């Protein structure tokens, strides 16, 4: 069979199975990759080269540091201190969401939700209120800020790997304000949505302090890594290897520190990492890489460019809002990976700065997941924690916050990117 047909069938089949079997996504991605190699749609060498090992190093290394950082209880201690200092419950919740966003800019979203959730649940129990809205707000805040930096979440890492953007480029790129400022503007506007949701909680609450910092060493490691990633921008201008090596080195240091100080076995620390997402990412790189190798990305780009004609604003708007709608129901990682080369080809055909389409794609794919409880991994985890507490999350309840939050954040970021990069 024609390799072009095989790659398309594998890609579409994998996408359908991602939706039908979300708990088996890594198995599906790896099986699809293996099938591509066995059918010789791609060679083993091409499959290996399709994986961005620099991005994989960033992801796994950051996961290791995030796990040890979470165990140190520093984030939970800060959240508890914020609640205690806030003038009302409304501001306690909003400041917890703000802390969630800050952590999520540098720590994977699921880990961030797991770090902050216990404090939110404790506050809800003390107030005798339903914690659903609070947990939803934490999840969407985490997803939003995960797009702000290179190491915030896999979609940002995918964009960085594809465009060779380094850590500093997420703040200023080619002399212009970059994706970080678009996300922060979106966060500022969506903050008012959250204020409206929680505005009636005027009471002042005192939490009994229970969290104690076990060690500040993981915090020092995380901050040091961020500084070195920023500095590495000047040494590895092609974003080819150094960031991944730094993250892996710091991840190993964190796990070794955990072993010798906390007496947790090294293998135990390794087992706690999110290997499911790790193998999922590797499989996705190969499956999406096969589309590029067999020419499908060019076909899709030609079709979309034909639809929008020469209207750059229409093309940009279509990329952003199609991404928002699709990412509300399907995993944003394979979607973004598949669309990055398409956006680049479209930009070339329309003779526009590719950053316009690429940044718009990241905004749409990352923030669109906030609309539904299945749109992002952080949402699924938050919903699972609520169900465990006896508060099952319905689609309508999630979307009541998710839709206005997403519309506010996407609109602001979308306009910012257009005016800066058009």
In order, the DSSP letters of 7-20 are HHHHHHHHHHHHHH
Hey, what are 361's tokens? 């794609």
Cα–Cα distances in angstroms (integers) from residue 190 to residues 187, 252, 401, in the given order:
5, 37, 10
Residue 401: predicted pLDDT: 92
CA 11 to CA 300: how far, in whole Å?
14
Outline where 72-152 has alpha helix (H).
Answer: 74-85, 89-104, 109-127, 132-145
Residue 238: predicted pLDDT: 58
CA 287 to CA 309: how far, in whole Å?
29
- Residue by residue, DSSP assigns 351-386 as T--HHHHHHHHHHHHHHHTTSSTTSSHHHHHHHHHH
The structure's pTM equals: 0.77
* pLDDT of the chain, 422 residues: tens digit per residue: 788 888 888 888 887 887 787 778 788 889 999 998 888 888 888 888 888 787 788 778 877 887 788 778 777 777 777 777 777 778 888 888 888 888 888 777 777 787 777 777 777 776 677 888 989 999 999 889 988 988 888 888 888 888 888 888 899 998 899 999 999 999 999 999 999 988 877 666 665 566 677 888 888 888 888 788 777 766 665 556 777 888 889 888 988 888 887 777 766 767 777 777 788 878 888 887 887 777 776 777 777 777 767 788 888 998 899 889 878 876 677 778 778 888 888 888 888 889 999 999 999 988 888 888 877 778 877 887 787 778 888 888 888 999 999 999 999 999 999 999 88
Residue 265: predicted pLDDT: 76
Contacts of 13 (CB under 8 A, 6+ apart): 32
3-state helix, strand, coil in the chain (%, to 5): 75, 0, 25
CA 155 to CA 188: how far, in whole Å?
21
Backbone angles phi, psi at 87, to 5 degrees: -80, -15
**Contact predicate 141/354, CB 8 Å:** no
Residue 166: predicted pLDDT: 84
Residue 208: predicted pLDDT: 57
Residue 204: predicted pLDDT: 64
| Helical pair 354-368 and 312-327, crossing angle rounded to 10 deg | 20
What residues are paired with 172 via a beta bridge? 177
């Amino acid at each position: 069979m024609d390799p072009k047909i095989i790659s398309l069938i594998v890609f579409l089949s994998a996408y359908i199975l991602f939706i039908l079997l979300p708990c088996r996504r890594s198995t599906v991605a790896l099986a699809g990759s293996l099938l591509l190699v066995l059918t010789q749609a791609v060679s083993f060498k091409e499959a290996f080269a399709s994986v961005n090992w620099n991005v994989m190093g960033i992801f796994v290394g950051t996961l290791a540091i995030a796990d040890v950082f979470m165990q140190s209880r520093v984030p939970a201690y800060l959240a508890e201190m914020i609640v205690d200092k806030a003038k009302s419950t409304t501001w306690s919740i909003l400041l917890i969401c703000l802390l969630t966003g800050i952590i999520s800019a540098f720590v994977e979203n699921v880990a961030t939700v797991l770090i902050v959730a216990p404090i939110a649940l404790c506050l809800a129990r003390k107030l005798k209120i339903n914690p659903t809205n609070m947990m939803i707000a934490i999840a969407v805040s985490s997803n939003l800020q995960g797009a702000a930096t290179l190491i915030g979440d896999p979609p940002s890492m995918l964009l960085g790997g594809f465009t060779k953007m380094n850590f500093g480029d997420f703040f200023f790129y080619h002399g212009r304000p970059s994706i970080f400022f678009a996300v922060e503007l979106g966060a500022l506007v969506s903050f008012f949505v959250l204020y409206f949701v929680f505005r009636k909680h005027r009471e002042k609450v005192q939490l009994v302090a229970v969290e104690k910092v076990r060690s500040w060493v993981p915090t020092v490691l995380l901050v040091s890594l961020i500084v070195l990633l920023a500095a590495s921008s000047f040494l590895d201008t092609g974003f080819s290897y150094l960031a991944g090596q730094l993250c892996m080195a710091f991840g190993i240091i964190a796990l070794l520190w955990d072993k010798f100080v906390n007496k947790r076995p090294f293998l135990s620390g390794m087992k706690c990492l999110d290997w499911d997402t790790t193998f999922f990412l590797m499989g996705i790189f190969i499956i999406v890489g096969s589309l590029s190798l067999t020419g499908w990305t060019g076909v899709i780009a030609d079709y979309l460019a034909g639809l929008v004609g020469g209207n750059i604003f229409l093309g940009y708007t279509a990329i952003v809002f199609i991404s928002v709608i699709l990412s509300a129901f399907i995993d944003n990682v394979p979607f973004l990976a598949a669309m990055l080369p398409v956006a680049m080809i479209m930009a070339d055909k329309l003779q526009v700065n590719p950053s316009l389409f690429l940044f718009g794609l990241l905004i749409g794919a990352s923030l669109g997941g906030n609309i539904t409880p299945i749109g992002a991994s952080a949402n699924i985890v938050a919903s699972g924690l609520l169900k465990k507490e006896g508060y099952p999350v319905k689609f309508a309840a999630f979307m009541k916050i998710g839709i206005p939050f997403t519309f506010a954040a996407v609109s602001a970021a979308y306009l910012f990117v257009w005016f800066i990069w058009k």
